[in-house]
Structure 1
């Protein structure tokens, strides 16, 4: 029997996670009253049913009864019920944006301010996050990427990598990414933009990569960057961080930053202790701006 409790911040992807688990063959129940959880566990206990994979969605909508959840989980543990907690999180900025886009009302935003509701929810869910077996920060994850992570954990039974590193290239003229944890400026490197044969290409193209990495300073910068990040990562993990955004910027976010972001991603991606993804935020923006 695999019994997964799916919870986390409102707007962080709990419903998406439940749908993904249901598609993977889990029997899913959403927003069951807290008072019925113990009885539910008795009904699905091994030997009582043919169901072998269960996912139970719990969130702040349980109202005042949510305060009883800690005691209920303790009772399940005493009764020998093996359960896992999946906690879905996201940054405050992303959560506010998602609520504004959907025009939904946060369940705790009694005065109408989503930000206040999010802060109150974080306080109430703190004990659950501390108990969680898996914490997935969906701030920078696409829906398909979240489903892939869930598939690795709950279908393929692979070891969970609690820290997800996003290597992000960007252009300074379009602004520094607001969710950046570390920002590095590579505008000191020679610029391929000034070479006609390279201008229309990007850091994803070999001629640009060869040009940017054709200078010793590029290799020295990359080596020093790797050394610092490898020092920082274990300390971030100890702090409990589960999402790290490393942003690398040049003027337009098309040549130098893309090349260095790709090289950094290649050096980090095979580590067994964390997951790594790559994103190029502004790689197409120059073409779009010029077209208009």
Structure 2
């Protein structure tokens, strides 16, 4: 008998929780937003269909540790499969969203919105630390957020496999907060200083050849893949459903992009080999995101919904256009 899927969605006010709940509703979940915390366990245990529950600072009796304790008790029920999703955005994005909607922050009804945001970050931090999936909606188009939720929780998702997200980024713009593993590619030779290669990206062949020509590239990539191959099976053994591996460089356009693409192909080949040898190996699904290329509006590089197994180049041109994510 299969277990009943339950997704608890929390996070920062204005971080996209309501959008995630709507996306879950579209893939077959019954969505309930902001029920009293005292009713949470009874409501979930009595459910007979997939359920998505929104809980945040507005919830009556909200306490992050109480929520985590309730989840721990629910996870002892073999008939339930509980997952916790935490939605957030950076301070500037949250402030802009509150300015646009003219809503009051639940923790600063008469005060400064920034103070309410700071208080809520502290209040919900335990949930972020224990979340199965952390979603950064800063600058994420609503259409891509919906497809992200469909990827993880929709009918086509493979619940037996851990989802591995590979993310390239630029160090000056900050580390991805959802990262489980972070690698630094800034010591490799930089195509930025070649005027012909500068406007290109790590997905172009001549850029790739330039980076591979670094005398330390092969050794570095071998060490990187060795560590990843050591960590991922242990993540699976621990029951981890999502893992994020990030590689950063200075601009997030060349070295990190190429390394993420190469790592993605490597991990995909590992999945293929394992599947051929062991039909019971849960393995993992691999997806790619190039954060800085996406933020530049480079449509052909907005790959947040691209599974690596899909090799057709035309897939890179299927870009979603959407509005900014709202709570």
Same fold (TM over 0.5): yes
Is 1:210 aligned to residue 221 of structure 2?
Answer: no
Task: Give the corresponding residue for 2:263.
Answer: 264
C-alpha separation in 2, matches of 1:190 and 1:226? 21
**CA displacement at 1:267 relative to structure 2:** 2.1
8 Å CA contact 2:24–2:52 kept in 1: the answer is yes
- In structure 2, C-alpha distance between the alignment counterparts of 1:56 and 1:149, rounded to whole Å: 18
Distance in structure 1 (CA, Å) of the matches to 2:47 and 2:225: 48
1-structure distance, mates of 2:215, 2:244: 28
Please state how far the C-alpha of 1:256 moved relative to its aligned partner.
3.6
In 1, Cα distance between the equivalents of 2:137 and 2:164? 10
Q: CA deviation at 1:19?
A: 0.6
How many angstroms does 1:6 deviate by?
A: 2.6
Query: Is the alpha carbon distance of 1:284 and 1:214 closer, same or farther for their aligned partners in structure 2, counting shifts above 3 Å?
Result: farther
What residue in structure 2 maps to residue 168 of structure 1?
Answer: 168
Tell me, which stretches of 5 or more residues in structure 2 are unaligned?
A: 272-282, 299-327
Alignment match of 1:14 (pick from 14, 17, 42)? 17
| CA shift for structure 1 position 212 | 2.7
What's the offset of the Cα at 1:236? Answer: 7.1
* Total equivalences in the alignment: 266
Match of 1:138 among 135, 139, 147: 135
8 Å contact 1:212–1:256 — kept in the other structure? Answer: yes
Give the SS at the match of 1:179.
Answer: coil
Gaps of 5+ in 1: 47-51, 288-292
Paired residues of 1:8 and 1:89 also in contact (CA < 8 A): yes
Alignment deviations for residues 71-94 of structure 1 (CA, whole Å, 9 cap, x no partner): 98799899x895443322256xx3
> Residue 49 of structure 1 corresponds to which residue in structure 2?
none
Aligned pairs for 1:220-239 within 5 A = 220-233=219-232
What secondary structure, in the 3-state scheme, does the structure 2 residue paired with 1:204 have? coil
Matched residues in 2 for 1:224 and 1:54: separation? 42
The alpha-carbon deviation at position 168 of structure 1 amounts to 0.9
Distance 1:157 1:248, change over 3 A: closer
> Larger Cα Rg: Structure 1 or Structure 2?
1
Question: Secondary structure of the residue that 1:16 maps to in structure 2?
Answer: helix
User: Which stretch of structure 1 is more off in the superposition, 13-22 or 237-246?
Assistant: 237-246
Structure 1 residues 192 and 40, CA gap change in structure 2 (3 angstroms): closer
Determine the C-alpha separation between the residues in 2 that align with 1:83 and 1:266.
Answer: 34
TM-score relative to the length of structure 1: 0.66
CA contact (8 A) 1:162 1:242 kept: yes
Residue 281 of structure 1: which of 268, 280, 292 is its match?
292
Give the drift of 1:119: 0.9
Equivalences for residues 94-133 of structure 1 within 5 A: 94-103=89-98, 105-109=104-108, 112=112, 113=115, 114-123=117-126, 125=127
Deviation at 1:222, TM superposition (A): 1.4
From 161, 176, 179, the equivalent of 1:179 is 176
Decide which structure has greater helix share.
Answer: 1
Q: Once the 2 structures are TM-superposed, how far is the Cα of residue 18 of structure 1 from its aligned partner?
A: 1.5
SS of residue in 2 equivalent to 1:155: coil
CA deviation after TM superposition for structure 1 residue 225, in Å: 2.0
